[in-house]
């Protein structure tokens, strides 16, 4: 029987009516390097991480967790309006950032503050953004945790879910056309894969052979929706096959496994001009945001299990301790220093002036049009007419 000559390549013909199975009983494996006790699994292929990088990774993970803890409490005290933590997902943040080049463009979702911290965006800058003060690079016009930094090649976070995925495919194609020797990296959660932008982004990247890494943090929950109510496929990694994208599933709570997978993915993306899909299996220990109470839809003992027995920070600490790179004295000093740093950053950010009122109307047009001039004048008149209704620190 001859093959079917079809656009895109020949297709073998068969007289047997056989449907492709919707799913396999055998799930796709998950790449892991470290056991729960921090020991290396024997005969594992992985990137070698030296002492300096490993200690810096661990320090960044602790810093991220500490910053999350205090800024979350600041929101609960009414000092900022909103916050989202990365509790339980610190290894994905820091290990992926460490495996990338500073020249790679990152399009985050909203649990990637650690990527910015690794690239040099300071705790003070993060805190300024959350308080929306005059030193906030976004001039107070974004919700808290919507970070961005042109200096660090991190595209500002958007609230609408999954918009960054299709945008990242375009960024990657641009990098390819310009021969920049860099890739784009798009982060999303498992919930984002249910959005149309996920499918459009993957298909575009595959067809255009764009150098991009799609990193999905599969943390089990899209707010209150568990993964088994989102899709029938074997998680997210199985979706790569449908778009012709090379894919891997990795233990997202294993910093060495994440580092190794992202380093390999970056090499393939750039050297072979191809997209790579990475599904990092983890668990969202914290609530979805300060607007959520996750104990309403999942058992507290499940949360506690992942918080203690499966902590990525704890596992990585055991690893560096086994190598003789970390001690109790260093741990105590790190925790003290980071706590002081975060508390000072909050104190500084909270005491700082807000952006001037004019910043509400700038950066949209090169020359401000008449309608915005009128809106600015009307706003100033309203504030001056009703001074008791507006904060005294507002710069008119």
Catalytic residue, from 158, 233, 289, 314: name it.
289
Catalytic residue flag (residue 393): no
Catalytic residue flag (residue 373): no
Catalytic residue, from 39, 51, 73, 291: name it.
73
Distance CA 353, CA 187 (A): 33
How many residues are there in the chain?
A: 396
Contact in structure between 185 and 104 (CB atoms under 8 Å): yes
Catalytic residue, from 15, 24, 42, 159: name it.
159
Distance CA 300, CA 68 (A): 20
Tokens of 59: 């320090």
Residue with tokens 């100033």: 380
* Strand order through the sheet with 184-189: 105-107, 184-189, 212-218, 275-281, 246-251
Catalytic residue, from 46, 152, 287, 288: name it.
288
Catalytic residue flag (residue 166): no
Distance CA 271, CA 208 (A): 15
CA-closest candidate to residue 68, choices 34, 14, 117, 4: 117
**Helix, strand, coil share (%) of the chain residues, nearest 5:** 45, 10, 45
The SS3 call for residue 74 is helix
Catalytic residue flag (residue 90): no
Tokens of 104: 């790679």
Active-site residue set: 73, 159, 288-289
């Amino acid at each position: 029987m001859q093959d079917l000559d079809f656009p895109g390549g020949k297709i073998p013909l068969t007289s047997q009516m056989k449907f492709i199975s919707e799913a396999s009983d055998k799930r796709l494996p998950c790449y892991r390097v470290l056991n729960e006790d921090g020991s290396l699994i024997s005969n594992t292929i992985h990137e070698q991480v030296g002492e300096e990088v490993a200690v810096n990774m661990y320090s960044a993970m602790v810093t991220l967790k500490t910053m999350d803890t205090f800024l979350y409490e600041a929101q609960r005290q009414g000092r900022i309006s909103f916050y989202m933590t990365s509790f339980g997902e610190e290894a994905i943040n820091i290990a992926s950032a460490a495996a990338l080049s500073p020249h790679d463009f990152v399009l985050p979702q909203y649990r990637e503050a650690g990527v910015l911290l690794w690239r040099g965006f300071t705790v003070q800058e993060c805190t300024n953004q959350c308080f929306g003060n005059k030193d906030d690079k976004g001039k107070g016009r974004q919700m808290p945790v919507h970070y961005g930094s042109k200096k660090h090649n991190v595209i500002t976070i958007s609230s609408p879910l999954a918009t960054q995925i299709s945008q990242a495919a375009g960024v990657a194609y641009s990098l390819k056309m310009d021969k920049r020797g860099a890739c784009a990296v798009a982060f999303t959660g498992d919930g984002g894969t249910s959005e149309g932008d996920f499918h459009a982004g993957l298909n575009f990247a595959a067809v255009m052979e764009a150098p991009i890494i799609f990193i999905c943090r599969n943390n089990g929950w899209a707010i209150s929706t568990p993964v088994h109510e989102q899709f029938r496929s074997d998680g997210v990694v199985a979706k790569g096959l449908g778009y012709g994208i090379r894919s891997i599933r990795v233990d997202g709570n294993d910093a060495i496994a994440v580092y190794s997978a992202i380093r390999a993915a970056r090499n393939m993306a750039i050297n072979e001009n191809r997209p790579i899909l990475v599904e990092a299996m983890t668990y969202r220990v914290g609530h979805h945001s300060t607007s959520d109470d996750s104990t309403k839809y999942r058992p507290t003992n499940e949360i506690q299990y992942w918080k203690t027995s499966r902590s990525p920070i704890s596992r990585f600490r055991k690893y560096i301790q086994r190598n003789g790179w970390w001690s109790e004295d260093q741990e105590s000093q790190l925790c003290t220093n980071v706590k002081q740093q975060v508390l000072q950053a909050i104190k500084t950010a909270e005491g700082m002036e807000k952006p001037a009122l004019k910043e509400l109307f700038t950066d949209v047009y090169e020359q401000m049009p008449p309608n915005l001039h009128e809106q600015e004048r009307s706003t100033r008149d309203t504030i001056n007419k009703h001074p008791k209704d507006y904060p005294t620190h507002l710069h008119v």
